[in-house]
C-alpha cells in the first residue's frame, strides 16, 4: 500500500471521488477509508456548505470530523451568495492543500454538479449576479410557470436546457442570466479543462425500494432530532423562507408547516417523496452504466473490496 510520503502532487496525484444517491452510505464509507488510508474528505454537498443547517442536511458529527478531517462544510451563512465557481475554486485549493501534506483527498457527496465541476474541470463563466434580472425572471416563472421559463432557455441554449430540470428554477434563471449578459449560451461557455490528477470514481448504490425505506427512516430521525426547532431558529435569526438555502429538502416542507400551509404529517410525507424524487435525479448525474464509475452495492458490505481497489489505485 502506498505510504503517505509517496502521495505526490502533480499529474500522478490521486483524487478519489465517492458518489451515489443520498442516504446510501457514502459518509460511512468515506470515514472508514479516510481513517485507514490517511485521507481527508472534501464535501461535495451543496447544502452542507451552510452554517446552522445541520439536522436537515444530515451533516457529519463533530466526532466524525475529528476522526477524519473534513473540508467545505459550514463555510457560508444561509443568506450568503455561493456559486458553482466559488465551490470549484475552493475545492481545488483544498485538494492541493491536502496533497501538499501527503494525504489522500476524497471528494464525497451527492451534488452531481459539484462533483463534475471538480473532476471534469468546468470552465465556469464569471458572470456577476444581476438582482434586477433575476427578479424579473423569477416573476416570469411565477406568472407563466416554470415550464415556460424552461422553454425560453431551450430556445437560446438547448444543450443547457437538456441538462437542467425545469423544476430547478434557480439554475434555469442562472443559465438565462448568463445568456442575457454575455449573449452566449452557458453551455458554450462552460468548457472543460480536466485537473491534473489521477482520479478514481467509486459509486455506491442500493435497491431503490430499500433505499427509499432508509430515506424515510432518516427523515423520521431528523424530525425526532429537532428539525422543526432548527428551522424555527434559522427564521428567528432573520433567514427568510425565500432564501435559496431554505428551499432545500426538509427546510422548505417544514416551512410550509410553520406557516400553516400544511399539517406536520403532510409536511413529513412531502420531505420523503421529494427526497425520493431527488434520488431519481441523482441517478441521472451518476448513471449506473457510466463505465468511469466503479459501482458497489451498499448492501453487500463491500468495504474490504473497496479498500483493496483504492489501495491498488494508490499503488499504481
pLDDT in tens, 157-201: 998 899 898 988 988 999 999 888 888 888 877 778 889 999 999
In CATH, what number does 210-282 get?
1.10.287.890
164 or 11, higher pLDDT: 164
Q: Measured between alpha carbons, how far is residue 197 from residues 84, 99, 104 in Å?
A: 20, 11, 12
C-beta separation of 101 from 130 below 8 A:
no
Mean pLDDT of 240-262: 96
If we measure between CA atoms, which residue out of 311, 267, 295 comes closest to residue 20?
Answer: 295
Report the pLDDT value the prediction gives residue 7, as an integer from 0 to 100.
44
| From-to residues of CATH 3.40.50.300 in the chain | 4-123+191-207+285-315
| pLDDT of 40 strictly over 70 | yes
Under 8 Å CB-to-CB from 90, ≥6 apart: which residues? Answer: 72, 75
Q: Using a pLDDT cut of 90, give the percent of the chain over it.
A: 76
Under 8 Å CB-to-CB from 182, ≥6 apart: which residues? Answer: 125, 127, 189
Q: Does domain 131-189 have CATH number 1.10.20.140?
A: yes
Q: Measured between alpha carbons, how far is residue 289 from residues 106, 170, 294 in Å?
A: 22, 29, 10
Report the pLDDT value the prediction gives residue 10, as an integer from 0 to 100.
52
| pLDDT of 207 strictly over 70 | yes
| From-to residues of CATH 1.10.20.140 in the chain | 131-189
3-12, 16-25, 101-110, 161-170: which has the minimum mean pLDDT? 3-12
For the chain, the farthest-separated pair of C-alpha atoms sits apart, in whole angstroms, at 60
| From-to residues of CATH 1.10.287.890 in the chain | 210-282
C-alpha cell at 78: 444561509
Report the pLDDT value the prediction gives residue 17, as an integer from 0 to 100.
97
Report the pLDDT value the prediction gives residue 254, as an integer from 0 to 100.
98
Q: What is the pLDDT of residues 42-89, one digit of tens each?
A: 999 999 999 999 999 999 999 999 999 999 999 999 999 898 889 999
In CATH, what number does 4-123+191-207+285-315 get?
3.40.50.300
Report the pLDDT value the prediction gives residue 206, as an integer from 0 to 100.
95
Amino acid at each position: 500500500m502506498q505510504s503517505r510520503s509517496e502521495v505526490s502532487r502533480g499529474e500522478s496525484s490521486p483524487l478519489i471521488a465517492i458518489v451515489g444517491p443520498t442516504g446510501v452510505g457514502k459518509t460511512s464509507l468515506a470515514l472508514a477509508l479516510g481513517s485507514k488510508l490517511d485521507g481527508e474528505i472534501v464535501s461535495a454537498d451543496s447544502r452542507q456548505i451552510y452554517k446552522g443547517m445541520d439536522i436537515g442536511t444530515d451533516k457529519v458529527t463533530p466526532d466524525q470530523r475529528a476522526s477524519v478531517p473534513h473540508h467545505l462544510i459550514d463555510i457560508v451563512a444561509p443568506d450568503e451568495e455561493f456559486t458553482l465557481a466559488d465551490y470549484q475554486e475552493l475545492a481545488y485549493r483544498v485538494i492541493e492543500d491536502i496533497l501538499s501534506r501527503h494525504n489522500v483527498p476524497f471528494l464525497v457527496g451527492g451534488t452531481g454538479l459539484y462533483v463534475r465541476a471538480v473532476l471534469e474541470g468546468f470552465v465556469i463563466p464569471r458572470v456577476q449576479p444581476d438582482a434586477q434580472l433575476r427578479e424579473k425572471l423569477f416573476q416570469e416563472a411565477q406568472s407563466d410557470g416554470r415550464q415556460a421559463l424552461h422553454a425560453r432557455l431551450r430556445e437560446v441554449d438547448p444543450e443547457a436546457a437538456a441538462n437542467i430540470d425545469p423544476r430547478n428554477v434557480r439554475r434555469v434563471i442562472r443559465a438565462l442570466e448568463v445568456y442575457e449578459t454575455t449573449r452566449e449560451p452557458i453551455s458554450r461557455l462552460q468548457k472543460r479543462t480536466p485537473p491534473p490528477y489521477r482520479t478514481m470514481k467509486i459509486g455506491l448504490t442500493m435497491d431503490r425500494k430499500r433505499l427509499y425505506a432508509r430515506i424515510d427512516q432518516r427523515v423520521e430521525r431528523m424530525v425526532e432530532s429537532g428539525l422543526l426547532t432548527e428551522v424555527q431558529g434559522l427564521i428567528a435569526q432573520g433567514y427568510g423562507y425565500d432564501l435559496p438555502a431554505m428551499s432545500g429538502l426538509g427546510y422548505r416542507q417544514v416551512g410550509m408547516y410553520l406557516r400553516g400551509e400544511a399539517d406536520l404529517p403532510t409536511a413529513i410525507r412531502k420531505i420523503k417523496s421529494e427526497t425520493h424524487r431527488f434520488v431519481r435525479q441523482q441517478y441521472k448525474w451518476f448513471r449506473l452504466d457510466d463505465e468511469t464509475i466503479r459501482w458497489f452495492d451498499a448492501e453487500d458490505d463491500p468495504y474490504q473490496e473497496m479498500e483493496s481497489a483504492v489501495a491498488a489505485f494508490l499503488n499504481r
